[in-house]
Chains A and B, each alone.
Chain A
Amino acid sequence: EPEVTQTPSHQVTQMGQEVILRCVPISNHLYFYWYRQILGQKVEFLVSFYNNEISEKSEIFDDQFSVERPDGSNFTLKIRSTKLEDSAMYFCASSEVRGFEQYFGPGTRLTVT
């Protein structure tokens, strides 16, 4: 069964450093998403992406965040200058059609020290 994959599974970085989180969505899916979950809290929507453009972004997704689909398979989330409060689990998801179920990757745990 096709699945969303994410790398790395765990990333440790120092405050102020840039990080890139990588995702490979399911191959025939057209809509891509990033979510964040701070430990013990709910899953929060960050951004959705379709046709090489951001479709929607939340108030969390400020100028330090960016997304890119650099090739036909990868979907990346970049955090330019990490802060302690960026420590969280970051989930990538994809869906075939907007509104249909989203399939989540296993997540990348980001730890900012």
Chain B
Amino acid sequence: AQTVTQSQPEMSVQEAETVTLSCTYDTSESDYYLFWYKQPPSRQMILVIRQEAYKQQNATENRFSVNFQKAAKSFSLKISDSQLGDAAMYFCAYRSATHDMRFGAGTRLTVKP
């Protein structure tokens, strides 16, 4: 079974600093996609970044980037120049061609002014 593990229930970062959120996953499939979603207090799920497993290059979206280590099955999210608006729950998610989306338990990020 595909599982997604986020080992950090809570993280905090000082405004303007950098923080890394960890995610590992377990799969025997070779073709899959990984995602990070942000869930602010409004509880809306917002896509932050996406990575295709066949791509070696790490995805980046402005201040957000990932460190994708396929062999280690690791998919961490780096947030640079953290802003107050980045405070939210962050969910790592996995999906493949044969299985729909599976989410990790989430990491609550606090940004300190």
Give the A-B contact count at a CB cut-off of 8 A. Answer: 50
Q: A residues within 8 A CB of B93?
A: 43
Compute how far the CA of A35 lies from the CA of B99 in the bound complex, rounded to whole angstroms. Answer: 14
B35 to chain A, nearest CB (A): 7
Compute how far the CA of A35 lies from the CA of B103 in the bound complex, rounded to whole angstroms. Answer: 10
> Does A103 interact with chain B (Cβ within 8 Å)?
yes
Report whether A42 and B43 are in contact in the complex, using a CB–CB cutoff of 8 Å: no
Q: Count residues of chain B with CB under 8 A from any CB of chain A.
A: 23
The size class of the interface chain A forms with chain B is 20 to 34
A9 to chain B, nearest CB (A): 10
Extra inter-chain contacts (7) besides given A42-B103, A43-B91, A99-B33, CB under 8 Å: A35-B101, A37-B43, A42-B106, A45-B100, A55-B100, A89-B43, A106-B44
A→B interface (CB under 8 Å): 33, 35, 37, 41-45, 48, 55-56, 89, 91, 93, 98-104, 106-107
